[in-house]
Copies of this chain bind each other. A is one copy, B any other.
Amino acid sequence: MSEEKVIPYKIYLEESEMPRQWYNMRADMKNKPAPLLNKDTLKPITFEELQPVFCDELIKQELDETTPYFDIPQEILDFYKMYRPAPLVRAYCLEKALDTPAKIYYKFEGNNTSGSHKLNSAIAQAYYAKEQGLKGVTTETGAGQWGTALSMASSYLGLDCNVYMVKCSYEQKPFRREVMRTYGASVTPSPSTTTEVGKRILEAHPGTTGSLGCAISEAIEAAGNKEGYRYVLGSVLNQVMLHQSIIGLEAKAAMDKYGIDPDIIIGCAGGGSNLGGLIAPFMREKLLGNKDYRFIAVEPASCPTLTRGKYAYDYCDTGMVCPLSKMYTLGSGFIPSSSHAGGLRYHGMNSTLSQLYADGYMEAMSVEQTSVFEAAQRFARVEGILPAPESSHAIKVAIDEALKCKETGEEKTILFGLTGTGYFDMYAYQRYNDGEMGDYVPSDEEINAGLAGLPKVD
């Protein structure tokens, strides 16, 4: 014991110790994720076919299954320095409150105005758009973190930024919208009448409060309608997970510095970008057979993609304008109950994580939202940080695992991703504080109805 280094509450890497490359898990996977398919030909999609939608450099990253490391351009590194390195925090106070022998760490990505890890990919995508000489980008946002992150990155680089915000979120979170406007972005509630697909969806479902899948369709159409614009996306894609590997790379570097090795790594899972980013360098060790880790993806019981979805080709968006991706999915028509608070409401899962899950490299759990907010409050009161509802899914399972250690007496080391803060989620907290928050678990019929809409692909 006396030889162990004293672990500070927060481990910050020096600027000189910050990772200078992103890591691409696919390069070390034996079973590669299935390729994106052209939705019309059902053949693997080509660079050229993606060019009207995405920036060239991002397409290269999206399609690259063999290059393990990508250099991070200097301008992105400089931007990262404004809010990174993010701290790796030893949750001493939570450990004490739980009276557990477990050692709990979290990588905190909320110390920036977007309030989450989303900024890591936003600046990368905005940078490549700028490099390509584009005028602007379009995107969707659900809970609002991604739209905020992209508006920050765009404003920094002088790009125009048009955000389609899921209508229920637009209405519940007017202040998120104002943050985006402060950074110069335009924000449109989705579905809207500014796109054909939006009009179509509004006709079919007049009172709809929108979904991420709808907003994606609208943002893609909007990018196509304007000269010099491309679409960018905050999760799901492999390029996003590549950028988010900075989370895990920093966490691992900080842990290595102090001789810490986690047993369990836990992340919340919506589209998968945070989870994939957090686990990336640890998964590398597991893929190479150097070390075993237990990885746990935590998803909401109201949108149980991994735990109740099907591993199949599906549309990435409701309007069915995207390529097809093979992934765990609930069907592109699946919309989580309106009682569901916060993000993690996407119907599918990143294709790389889906393959890893199918191959048994990772576990998944689903949790109900009142238990998530209970964990959030418990965490906030001892660790000080008011967590985002999304991040609190990981907190919930980290607490559960730490309490198991209390029963067994095991001194496991747990690492979880604290993706962001809940400062713009107080409406949901209010419902919880007032005892008005309920849980919703879709019935088998609802799940099957979603899956019935999957496209036929062998």
- Residues on B with beta carbons closer than 8 Å to the beta carbon of A194: none
Q: Is A216 an interface residue (CB 8 A)?
A: no
- Residues on B with beta carbons closer than 8 Å to the beta carbon of A82: 9, 93, 383-384
- Residues on B with beta carbons closer than 8 Å to the beta carbon of A15: 8-10
Judging by beta carbons under 8 Å apart, are A433 and B181 in contact?
A: yes
Judging by beta carbons under 8 Å apart, are A433 and B182 in contact?
A: yes
Interface mask (A221-248 → B, CB under 8 Å = 1, otherwise 0): 0000000000000000000000000000
Q: Please, how many angstroms separate the alpha-carbon atoms of A15 and B175 in the complex?
A: 35
A8 nearest CB neighbor, chain B only: B15
Q: Please, how many angstroms separate the alpha-carbon atoms of A78 and B10 in the complex?
A: 12
Judging by beta carbons under 8 Å apart, are A113 and B156 in contact?
A: no
Judging by beta carbons under 8 Å apart, are B113 and A381 in contact?
A: no
Known contacts A183-B381, A423-B423; A10/B81 CB under 8 A: yes
Q: Is A361 an interface residue (CB 8 A)?
A: no
Q: Please, how many angstroms separate the alpha-carbon atoms of A449 and B331 in the complex?
A: 68
A428 nearest CB neighbor, chain B only: B178
Judging by beta carbons under 8 Å apart, are B384 and A178 in contact?
A: no
A152 nearest CB neighbor, chain B only: B384
In the assembled complex, the CB of A72 is this many whole angstroms from the nearest CB of chain B, namely 15
Judging by beta carbons under 8 Å apart, are A156 and B424 in contact?
A: no
Q: Is A320 an interface residue (CB 8 A)?
A: no
- Residues on B with beta carbons closer than 8 Å to the beta carbon of A380: 113, 182-183
Judging by beta carbons under 8 Å apart, are B174 and A430 in contact?
A: yes
CB-contacts of A37-84 with B (<8 A): 78, 81-83
In the assembled complex, the CB of A336 is this many whole angstroms from the nearest CB of chain B, namely 23
Judging by beta carbons under 8 Å apart, are B430 and A178 in contact?
A: yes
CB-contacts of A182-202 with B (<8 A): 182-184
A119 nearest CB neighbor, chain B only: B384
A432 nearest CB neighbor, chain B only: B182
Q: Please, how many angstroms separate the alpha-carbon atoms of A112 and B87 in the complex?
A: 13
Q: Please, how many angstroms separate the alpha-carbon atoms of A8 and B85 in the complex?
A: 12
- Say which residue of B8, B156, B377, B423 sits within 8 Å of A81 (CB atoms): B8
Judging by beta carbons under 8 Å apart, are B113 and A182 in contact?
A: no
